[in-house]
A and B are shown apart, each in its own frame.
Chain A
Amino acid sequence: QKEVEQNSGPLSVPEGAIASLNCTYSDRGSQSFFWYRQYSGKSPELIMFIYSNGDKEDGRFTAQLNKASQYVSLLIRDSQPSDSATYLCAVGAGYSSASKIIFGSGTRLSIRP
């Protein structure tokens, strides 16, 4: 069974600090990696995607991918209370038009003022 694993949390981070969220995956053939944010009672929202090893930055968010270690992470700089949500790591099998996207169980992040 292909798996995506995350620490369920809750992860508590003070406002203004860096939040670091981690994810590991079991399928070495995985090609695409995503972070979704889900507020309580709402649907998931894509915030970052990364396809190549290394870092990708978008505003306060940085996604990091290490395919050799099968590890992907999300850094949130200058954390705000509005960042409090569940963050879902998702992994895709390839670039086909409709491949399987597998979600991790999510990490609940809480930013304390």
Chain B
Amino acid sequence: DTEVTQTPKHLVMGMTNKKSLKCEQHMGHRAMYWYKQKAKKPPELMFVYSYEKLSINESVPSRFSPECPNSSLLNLHLHALQPEDSALYLCASSRSTGSTGELFFGEGSRLTVL
């Protein structure tokens, strides 16, 4: 079982809706990530939080808004999405110093935008 928990597992929303994806880890990791993955494509980095501060934003449209309320939680707020935003959204975490890239992924939230 993964130690990174994502909710909901599936989400269907209209283009005018506002929804949020949630991610939680209790491994004491201090870096947390959001990735987007389309079918048969690799994960694409969206955001990185390090010690609860946004450290990397890969020029993601503002309709995606990340939030890190504390060291264990990571949210992704969604608003006015487009059908092409339908994808698997993966949350991941890693230990901080000296262990970059050893990512622990959650099971993902599969998003469908109608």
Contact = CB atoms under 8 A, between A and B. Distances in A.
Interface string A46-67: 1001000000000000000000
A32 B51 contact: no
Interface stretch (B11-19, B38-46, B77-85): B38-46
Interface string B24-59: 000000110100000001111100111100011000
Interface string B90-114: 1000101110111111111000000
Chain B: number of interface residues, binned into ranges:
20 to 34
A24 B106 CA distance: 27
A101 B30 contact: no
A32 B104 contact: no
A91 B50 CA distance: 18
Nearest to A103: B42
Contacts of A99: 100-101
B102 A46 contact: yes
Interface of B: 2, 30-31, 33, 41-45, 48-51, 55-56, 88, 90, 94, 96-98, 100-108
